[in-house]
């Protein structure tokens, strides 16, 4: 990561850990470290302004470090009224605006334009869509800045007046440029000599290229813009996978997220405010997601935390690049349970054993330290996007929504796969009892469970509160939750897929539509019966769903 100014350098440097100083043969000083949670080694330097200095330092840095990627990170002036102070502009193009020919007819542009490669382009677009500021919450103001993926004009003139000759030339010949800087053109030109190096220019808007620039700089606009640019650069690095593994370095001593001595409790920061957690020396980079995909709850003296995470390859060789996990942690803040009493830490360990025995999600890591147990289960990943696969939550419509036969077929077929897993769970004497849209992952070609829910937790009234709670789970019910509860919850998911809402006894029962086969309607009606004894078992429901999926396969897709 290269910067031109001290304020830009400091914005990047604050993200590094384990920093050491490296002097290049030419005399350029770099600080080299790592960003916690990312499998990159990062070198940062301050080049000074102008395209020439940027090009020289970039070229020498690529050769010395064998760089895989070069980011030029800093501030820029806005050329468009809708690109505001504090916004971030990532260069989809870099126009070298000095290229041209001067004659008696005036200036004729000879464009010299660079664009990032397709893989980097897609990573930027995904990062911009996928909650770009979630990874670095301390750097985000109350109103998060916008991220623009748009062209930048770059040259050696400091543009401080929008009606200047240079500004008019940019507007005339490079009208799509939304910002102007003095370094990007030099940096990207240097990377052209190393085709394998991926490059990106990320700029925070600190002024409007007008006479008020000095006043805005004095008010702190450069610090804010540089901080936002550095934060988004780190966000992009999260999803930009190295092409080759890092050289192994000495591993650090084992550590855990929570260390509790006897009689003393240490309260950690909530997972929904932390980008990285560490468990017995293994780091996990947390992802945000809908519903309970990042969640913390307390029940008496038991704290439960869970999140989708990327497994960060360890410097000692631990962890798989591109692997993802469903990370769950249970902490007991009170005294240990007495003989014969339920132990929530032991329940997490029992679930790991159940996963191994029933071919459930693969166990990535299981640790227990003092009053804390942590279980990481394998979560399928999407290698094309470099991210964990989504859950059924992404397929379900909101009411009112017309039924899409193709989407419904995918859900019905997938829930039949889930019913097969529940069938095995029931045969072993367990029930999930916590099915919801985020509990089912859209793996290919099947859908899979993220975990076994409440299978190793004794049933109790009021469990699994929310719209997918079965009647027997509610307070006051005399029926004990069990395998029939799973059938009801699958029926509730189907009901949501058909109507956009969860079942409500105050509303009329769903009676189908012309585009929905009768077997789908019947499967929902039977699964949602009030009395658990009247519901089909998981095997019967699985067969009904497979037959319903066959019916849906013959329904023509809607005209688009």
Q: Give the range among 195-199, 309-313, 319-323 with minimum mean pLDDT.
A: 319-323
Comparing 437 with 254, which gets the higher pLDDT? 437
Give the pLDDT of residue 291. Answer: 83
CA atoms within 13 A on the CB side of 83: 28
Averaging pLDDT over each range in 14-28, 137-151, 305-319, which range is the top one? 14-28
Does 93 score more than 90 pLDDT? Answer: yes
Percent of the chain whose predicted confidence (pLDDT) is above 90:
52
Averaging pLDDT over each range in 301-305, 385-389, 517-521, 540-544, which range is the top one? 540-544
Distance of alpha carbon 332 from the chain centroid: 29
Model pTM score: 0.60
* Rounded Cα gap, residues 296 and 97, in angstroms: 52
Which residues touch 423 (CB under 8 Å, ≥6 apart)?
537, 538, 539, 542
Which residues touch 338 (CB under 8 Å, ≥6 apart)?
none
Rg (the chain; Cα; Å): 28
Give the pLDDT of residue 110. Answer: 81
pLDDT band of residue 559 (cuts 50, 70, 90) is: very low
Q: What is the DSSP string of 233-246?
A: HHHHHHH---SSPP
CA dihedral 49, 55, 56, 60 (to 10 degrees): 130
Average pLDDT over residues 155-179: 84
Q: Give the range among 200-204, 239-243, 283-287, 347-351 with minimum mean pLDDT.
A: 239-243
Percent of the chain whose predicted confidence (pLDDT) is above 70:
89
Please tell me what DSSP assigns to residue 271. G
Instruction: Find, among 91, 8, 94, 68, the residue nearest to 44 by Cα.
Output: 8
Angle at 283 between CA 125 and CA 2, to 5 degrees: 50
pLDDT band of residue 274 (cuts 50, 70, 90) is: low
Comparing 138 with 303, which gets the higher pLDDT? 303
**Whether the Cβ atoms of residue 447 and residue 417 lie closer than 8 Å to each other:** yes
Phi, psi of 208 (to 5 degrees): -115, 25
Average pLDDT over residues 524-531: 95
Tens digit of each residue's pLDDT (9 = 90 or more) over 354-408: 999 998 899 999 999 999 999 999 999 987 777 899 999 988 877 666 567 788 8
**Whether the Cβ atoms of residue 392 and residue 414 lie closer than 8 Å to each other:** yes
* Rounded Cα gap, residues 339 and 354, in angstroms: 23
- Identify the H or E element spanning 150: strand 147-154
Does 247 score more than 60 pLDDT? Answer: no
Overall residue count recorded for the chain in this entry: 560
Give the pLDDT of residue 263. Answer: 33
The Cα-based distances of 89 to 7, 120, 206, 217, 361 in angstroms read 17, 15, 11, 18, 40
- Identify the H or E element spanning 88: strand 88-96
Instruction: Find, among 177, 221, 205, 182, the residue nearest to 88 by Cα.
Output: 205
Largest Cα separation within the chain, whole Å, is 97
pLDDT band of residue 463 (cuts 50, 70, 90) is: very high
Does 210 score more than 80 pLDDT? Answer: no
* Rounded Cα gap, residues 518 and 526, in angstroms: 12
Q: Classify burial at 288, counting beta carbons within 10 Å of its beta carbon; exposed 0-12, middle 13-18, buried 19 or more.
A: middle
**Runs of H (alpha helix) within 87-154:** 118-129
Tens digit of each residue's pLDDT (9 = 90 or more) over 441-460: 998 788 999 999 999 999 99
Give the pLDDT of residue 320. Answer: 57
Residue identified by tokens 């190096």 is: 197
Tens digit of each residue's pLDDT (9 = 90 or more) over 14-38: 989 889 999 998 899 999 998 887 7
Q: Classify burial at 113, counting beta carbons within 10 Å of its beta carbon; exposed 0-12, middle 13-18, buried 19 or more.
A: middle
Give the pLDDT of residue 230. Answer: 93
Comparing 283 with 213, which gets the higher pLDDT? 283
* Rounded Cα gap, residues 373 and 330, in angstroms: 5
Structural tokens at position 518: 């009768």
pLDDT band of residue 139 (cuts 50, 70, 90) is: low
């Amino acid at each position: 990561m290269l910067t031109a100014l001290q304020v830009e350098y400091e914005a990047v440097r604050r993200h590094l850990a384990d920093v050491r100083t490296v002097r290049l043969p030419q005399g350029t000083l770099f600080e080299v470290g790592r960003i916690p949670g990312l499998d990159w080694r990062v070198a940062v330097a301050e080049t000074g302004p102008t395209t020439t200095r940027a090009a020289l330092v970039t070229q020498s840095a690529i050769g010395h470090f064998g760089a895989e990627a070069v980011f030029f990170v800093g501030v820029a002036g806005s050329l468009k009224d809708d690109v505001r102070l504090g916004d971030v502009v990532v260069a989809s193009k870099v126009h070298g605006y000095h290229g041209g020919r001067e004659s008696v007819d005036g200036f004729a542009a000879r464009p010299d334009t660079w664009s990032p490669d397709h893989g980097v382009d897609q990573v930027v677009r995904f990062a911009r869509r996928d909650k770009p500021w979630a990874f670095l919450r301390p750097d985000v103001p109350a109103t998060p800045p916008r991220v623009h993926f748009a062209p930048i004009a770059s040259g050696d003139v400091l543009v401080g007046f929008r009606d200047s000759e240079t500004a008019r030339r940019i507007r005339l010949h490079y009208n799509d440029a939304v910002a102007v800087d003095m370094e990007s053109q030099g940096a990207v030109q240097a990377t052209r000599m190393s085709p394998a190096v991926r490059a990106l220019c990320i700029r925070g808007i600190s002024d409007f290229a007008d006479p008020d620039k000095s006043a805005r700089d004095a008010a702190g606009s450069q610090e804010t813009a540089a901080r936002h640019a550095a934060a988004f650069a780190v966000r992009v690095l999260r999803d930009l996978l190295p092409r080759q593994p890092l050289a192994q370095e000495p591993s650090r001593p084992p550590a855990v997220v929570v260390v509790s001595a006897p009689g003393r409790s240490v309260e950690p920061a909530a997972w929904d405010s932390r980008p990285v957690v560490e468990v017995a020396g293994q780091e996990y980079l947390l992802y945000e997601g809908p519903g309970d995909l990042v969640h913390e709850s307390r029940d008496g003296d038991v704290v439960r935390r869970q999140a989708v995470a990327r497994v960060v390859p360890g410097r000692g060789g631990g962890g798989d690049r591109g692997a993802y996990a469903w990370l769950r942690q249970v902490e007991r803040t009170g005294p240990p349970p007495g003989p014969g009493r339920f132990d929530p830490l032991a329940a997490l360990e029992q679930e790991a054993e159940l996963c191994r025995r029933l071919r459930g999600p693969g166990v990535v890591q299981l640790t227990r330290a003092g009053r804390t147990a942590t279980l990481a289960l394998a979560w399928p990943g999407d290698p094309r996007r470099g991210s964990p696969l989504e859950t059924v939550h992404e397929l379900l419509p909101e009411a009112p929504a017309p039924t899409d036969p193709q989407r419904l077929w995918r859900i019905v077929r997938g829930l039949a796969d889930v019913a097969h897993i529940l069938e095995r769970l029931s045969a072993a004497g367990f029930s999930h009892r916590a099915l919801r849209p985020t509990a089912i992952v859209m793996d290919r070609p099947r859908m899979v469970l993220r975990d076994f829910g409440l299978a190793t937790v004794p049933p109790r009234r009021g469990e699994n509160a929310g719209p997918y709670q079965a009647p027997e789970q509610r307070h006051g019910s005399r029926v004990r939750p069990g395998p029939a509860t799973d059938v009801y919850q699958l029926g509730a998911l189907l009901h949501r897929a058909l109507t956009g809402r969860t079942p409500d006894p105050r509303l009329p029962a769903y009676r189908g539509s012309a585009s929905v086969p009768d077997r789908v309607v019947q499967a929902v009606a039977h699964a949602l019966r009030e009395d658990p004894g009247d519901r089909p078992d998981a095997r019967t429901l699985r067969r009904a769903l497979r037959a319903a999926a066959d019916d849906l396969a013959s329904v023509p897709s809607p005209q688009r």
